[in-house]
Structure 1
Amino acid sequence: MDVNVSVDQGQQGQSEHNPTDQDLGEEVPVSQDMGDYLEEYQSPKRGDICTGVVIGSDARGLIVDVGLKREGLIPNEDLERLDEETRSAVQVGTEVTVFVLRPEDRNGYPILSIHQAQLSKDWIKAEEMMESGGLYEGEISGYNRGGLIVKFGKIRGFVPASQLVDLPRRLSQDDRRQRLADMVGQQVGLKIIEVDRRRRRLIFSQRRALRSWQEVQRNRVMDQLTEGEVQHGRVTSITNFGAFVDLGGADGLIHVSELGWGRVDNPRQVLTVGDEVDVYVLDVDRQRKRIALSLKRLQPDPWTLIDDHYQGGQLVEGRVTRVLDFGAFIELDLGVEGLLHSSEMIGAPELGPADIVHPGETLLLKIIRIDSSKRRLALSAKQVRQSEWERWVAEQQAAREAQETAEAQVVEAEGDAAEPEAEEAVSEVVAGEVAEPEAEEAVSEPVADEVAEPEAEEAVSEPVA
């Protein structure tokens, strides 16, 4: 078309200017331009990716101008392979990226494909992601006995079972299939480890993406957390200083001091690995990537109940938790700690608190002062009367005797149940001893055979006679 326009312009110039020989000579560059254009033009090749504009449609499909000698055709069969959203978006005037399936059909039209162009883009993207080592987050769409299927744009990739994180190798075939089926629909982090466009192979690994995926999950969870909210999680590990709880991709720490309002010496007495718990978010340190959690903040504060539960002059039992130079801290049944000052202990003046009471010991004490606003509770051993102390000791002794009696009855019952079994075992041994003569008879039989040997010799010697 450009060539025709150039010729028309030349003819128009002749009519207006009556061109001279020099004018005719100026037409030579026009033919040279046309020749240059034809030399520079290269026919499309299969696999080329072009961008064009939809200029029309007919019964065969869409007609697209991609800057070639002739318009290209996108067959209806290719359009049917597109998803509904993409297909409805392709109208006259829409710019589309197409893949050259055939440079020319029998009528000379290039055959193009939007679907293959999308696939080719995805293959290129997969190759770039594999080279860069980028993390891909995808949804598991299916499975087979060898692993999981994950969509990557319009391509289906595969995650071999050997590249999965939570799939033990020694599972039975049925358990393995069930595990794989349960993963369908989950979002997972993956890394591409193989791209082979010719063989249509796209292979992922979850193992190689584990650290990167955990980092992404941690950042995502931390961005969503708010101090003061309640979250649900699972206990993943327990240490002497607290317990770690997984909040769905990020672990938070419940410090031992936040496990309960009372003193907790061993976190394992409160929680077990695998426990599902609700936790209170104390603090989110995004810079240091730390999450502080609490259990006790979801429980009633015992100091708010202390005025209803205790009163001055009341006798209470308590367990010694800590012994210091000035006294001992005593934990009461409500979970609060009171102070037994050294001046309220019973003992010689020259003795220190550590010589009088010991951690874990249970004492009978009297409450002498309560200040719930300051969370203070004062206790005394001196102010416990002799009669009160003797009655408490007698009750303690009676309780111990009752427990010992119950334990003895349990042991006796177990012994009675074991007697029939012992008698049966003895009877089996006795039966074995009675059976010994039969064994002796069996042993004596070969001796009889030896005695019969002379008869055999006589029988052999008869033919010689």
Structure 2
Amino acid sequence: MNEENNELLAALDAATDIKVGDVVKGEILVFDDQRQAIVGIEGTGVEGVIPAREYSSKPDADMTAELKVGDVLDLVVIRKIGSDKEGGSYLLSKKRLEARLAWDKIEKDHKPGDVLEVPVIQAVRGGLVVDAGVRGFIPASMIENRFVSDLNQYKGQTVRAQIVEIDPADNRLILSRRAVIDAERSEAIEKVFGTLNEGDVVEGKVARMTDFGAFVDLGGVDGLVHVSEISYDRVSKPADVLKAGETVKVKVLGLDKEKQRISLSIKQTQPGPWEKIATEAPEGTVLEGTVKRLTDFGAFVQVAAGVEGLVHISQISHKHVESPAEVLKSGETVKVKVLSVDPAAQRLSLSIKALEERPASEKKEDKQTDNKQASSSEIKNYTADEEEGFTIGDILGDDFSK
């Protein structure tokens, strides 16, 4: 009996040695109605409790499904529940012990400036929450080297981020993704500017678009394709003809390493419209085009992407036209005939009236003109053959004497 009392007193004395923060071993005795685990603290003769929220940092972890009675766990003491020794118990945590060990590992293995690959588990108002074995945080200003309006796009991604601050006492781990991007960009700039030359044609991916152009990734460095250099056709918005992630060929127009700017062109990698207009639309060709602009002296008609020709006011109609706007309107589709083409000067002369039947009065005038020209020609020919002995009267007959 005395021996049993001594064992009980020894167990009670051991319980007094349990302090908040101690690491203990606990054997699972039972799961209660609140899905908590009741454990016996090894070597103490007293019990402790593990609430479900203190089991794992994973929100979907189920302690009752993953553990069974008799399992022994390493746990950390959070606080004491109750005041008397015999009835007292302790609040224990497996999750906090794992976090403590993770903090110890991070502090031991890493220092500010090191780069970690971490999954983004949550996007909050001020930045991104990441899992580095412990809860880490990337402030919004340290995510990109530009403003980001929607942080939710990073949720579920694994990102590379540089450690800015480690403070295990305050559970504080601050990281910067921007620092990694800036470092990678500096390296890429040296590589790109060291290999690219003006006039080079290379491939890149459309990174993002604005109203004034598209930024193309050339391997960690973005170059700008101004909206005017996207196509020979008129482009109102880059998004109308391009999409993010699309692979495109671009020509390097300019390089400015000091300002880290690269000017690019997509349209200059494609055959120029004037290069093939002479073969595809020689003089006499009938084309369909769109009236683009009206002026006092005529109408400019687009017959191909980047190719506009002029229909002079005198070539709009057989009737007298005071102003092109009287008979044509911008956006109208018309058929035109090519009168002349000069690819070098990028000039194309067109006619609408050449495809219309001439009025009878104009035909009569033309016939009279042709007759007059024929008579003059005959007289000229006669003059040239004067030695043959023919007279003007012989040629014109009675009409001449009258």
Q: TM-score range by the shorter chain?
A: 0.3 to 0.5
Structure with more helix by fraction = 1
Give me the TM-score of the superposition, normalised by structure 2. Answer: 0.47
Larger RCO, structures 1/2 (Cα 8 Å, 6+ apart): 2
Structure with more strand by fraction = 2
Give me the TM-score of the superposition, normalised by structure 1. Answer: 0.42
